[in-house]
Amino acid sequence: MATSEGPVDPQGDPGSDEPVRRRDPLLDAARYRMEREVERERAERADAGDGAAGAAESAPPVRRVRADERARWVDTVVDQAVRRGEFDDLPLAGKPIPGLKGSYDPDWWLKGLVEREQITGVLPAAQLREEHRRMEETLDREASEEGVRRVLEDFNARVIDARRQLTGGPPVVTPVRDVDEEVLAWRARRRAMGLPVPPSAAERAAAEERARAEQAGTPAARVRTRHRWWRRA
């Protein structure tokens, strides 16, 4: 059976039952560098635990392992694992990677994390993104301008609170909504769908002013006409 010492020579010593194993020089060099790296890390931990000021100076200098050498050692270890069959029968082996079909979802990593870790509840970032995406549908269910403004103000307040990262989680990049612009868009959508559009706050204030003027015996229309007549004169 092959071991980590290297590949087995099928033509072994005729007088011995054990086959002759050829040594892999790259594997030996990588193992030597890894052992030196492990010794260096152990020495650093010992120095940190003892807290002795002169321990670091008395320790023999250890050459740092370069990035390419570490990468070569990693490749060697992975190749050995492949030969041992440790990567056989992995989940989704030979199958398409899930989540690559359809349109791009900016929350794919967050949804994958929730599914893998079986996280219960909804993270604020994901919840606010979903509410932002469905905001028009939510506002169209409101029948009054006051209700639209209440929904928007509550949403903006929760976005600002989530940006403070008081509960942790991924950063919140959902923008706040302009209340006045959303109200105008809501009224335009209701007109396009043929639904009754309630009067705005300014229109109600003007109607109330006209009603008070009529009750006082000076209709607003007549007053405006008289003023325009005097200006023409």
Question: In the prediction, which pLDDT does 94 show?
Answer: 78
pTM for the predicted model, two decimal places: 0.41
Q: Report how far residue 160's alpha carbon sits from residue 164's, in angstroms, rounded to the nearest whole number.
A: 7
Question: In the prediction, which pLDDT does 205 show?
Answer: 80
Question: In the prediction, which pLDDT does 167 show?
Answer: 61
Q: Going by C-beta distance under 8 Å and a sequence separation of 6 or more, which residues neighbour residue 13?
A: 19, 20
Spell out a b/e string for 67-104, using b for 16 or more CB atoms within 10 Å of the CB, else e: eeeeeebeebeeebeeeeeeeeeeeeeeeeeeeeeeee
Question: In the prediction, which pLDDT does 3 show?
Answer: 47
Q: Report how far residue 109's alpha carbon sits from residue 123's, in angstroms, rounded to the nearest whole number.
A: 13
Q: What is the mean pLDDT of each run of 10 residues along the chain (233 residues)?
A: 47 51 69 81 75 53 72 88 86 75 72 69 78 93 91 93 74 89 92 85 79 71 49 47
Question: In the prediction, which pLDDT does 138 show?
Answer: 93
